[in-house]
Amino acid sequence: MFPASGAVHVGRQPIFAADGAVHGYELLFRGDAEAVEADERGAYATSRVIITAFTEIGIEPLCGRGLCFVNLTREFLVGDLPLPFDAEQVVLEVLETVRIDDAVVSAVAGLVRQGYRIALDDYVFGLGHEPLLELATYVKIDVLETPPDELAATVARCRRYPGINLIAERLETPEQLERARALGFDYFQGYVLGRPQVVSAAALSPSRLARVELLSLLVGPGIPLARVVALVTSDPALSLRLMAAANADSLGLPVRVASVHEAVLLLGVDRLRDWAILMLVSDLDDPGTQQLSGAITRARMCQNIAGRMGLPPEAAFTVGLVSAVAELLGQAAAELAVRLSLTGEVTDALVRGAGPLGELLSLVAAYEASDLPMLLAAPLPVQDAARAYLDAVAYTGQIIAPRAGPAG
């Protein structure tokens, strides 16, 4: 019924404390499941890592409760591109390729005031990153490429800043590990301890046009909330991404969301705008817009029937959407429900078919399968189900038609 979807990938490499416990993971761009190193290191790569980690795989499956280290280019540091997460679990790595000037120093100082921890990646004394030493929580030093005498001198210079934790990176032999321990490094990263692991997940890509439209609604003088919600719900992939973002632990939100409407309200305009911008950047290689009419039709039919059964229509839309997208991805609805951290009522309907929403979903599935005996036994007249379906088809046609053809 539904077209096939693609997969997304992110690399993660552990960073260990002196006692062998995992302190956190560095998240790395990976273009495919077999990639052993990044073939991109620019703003696109950073955007792709953030979108994949936060909205498609999830920070908890990737990093547990440990820290996640994310490489940032200049665009993210100075605010040209947004950081749509809070500071609780994320360490911002300043890449060694970033040219340090007054604008970068001022921007990094502002991030520190917001509570973000800063790491200097591949630090080499004398290349211009010294103004950031007073702001950094971590300094990463490449043990493999740094001569022994220079390594000891760099460690000594960094120790003049009491707030800095030193990370020895690119440790490839036991001898290098022992030398790093002897020099007093606090944390350790490298092949001798753990190679990067590629984590993959099935994913949908939102329509590029939908993302552009969403962004245009969010930058105007007055934010039309109803139109924003309607736009997001018209694109299943966009809906799933934003619900996952709203439910992400790192956003620090106090409740779980059950619908796109709740996600929009809880994220707020600024967060929504940040995510819309990053999705545009991260999907620059998107081959085109998928026609997901089946998913939208099922979600809309659930919403239509919910009104006749006295059920919350937005939660019903979510149940229909997630169940349809799970089929599209070729995975269990229960797995997707857990990834999105949906409310108990919605999760029970998806996982066990339980409760009124589960009954609703079974009824819609019976209609899609032309299961007449089940339809005749249902509390809703068959004619009402037919009307709900026809309305859903018309609704989907109105949404899909303007998006037909390749993405721009």
Using 70 as the pLDDT threshold, list the residues of the chain that sit under it.
Answer: 1-8, 30-42, 55-56, 200-223, 248-255, 277-293, 328-329, 336, 338-342, 372-379, 395-408
Query: Which pLDDT score is estimated for 157?
Result: 94
Query: Which pLDDT score is estimated for 6?
Result: 56
Interior CA angle at 313 toward 307 and 318, to 5°? Answer: 140
Query: Which pLDDT score is estimated for 4?
Result: 36
Burial call 193-221: b when 16+ CB within 10 Å, e when fewer: bbebebbebbbbbbbbbbbebbbebbeee
Structural domains for the chain = 6-200 (3.20.20.450), 204-408 (1.10.3210.10)
Residue 80 CA to residue 117 CA, distance in Å, equals: 19
- Give the number of other Cβ atoms within 10 Å of residue 381's Cβ: 12
Give the β-pairing of 197-203 and 117-120.
unpaired
H-helix segments, 73-170? 74-77, 102-113, 148-158
- Sign of the four-CA dihedral 219, 225, 230, 233: positive
Cβ(214)–Cβ(232) below 8 Å: yes
Three-state secondary-structure class, residue 381: coil
Three-state secondary-structure class, residue 27: strand
Cβ(263)–Cβ(242) below 8 Å: yes
**Predicted TM-score (pTM) of this structure:** 0.57
Query: Which pLDDT score is estimated for 7?
Result: 62
Three-state secondary-structure class, residue 323: helix
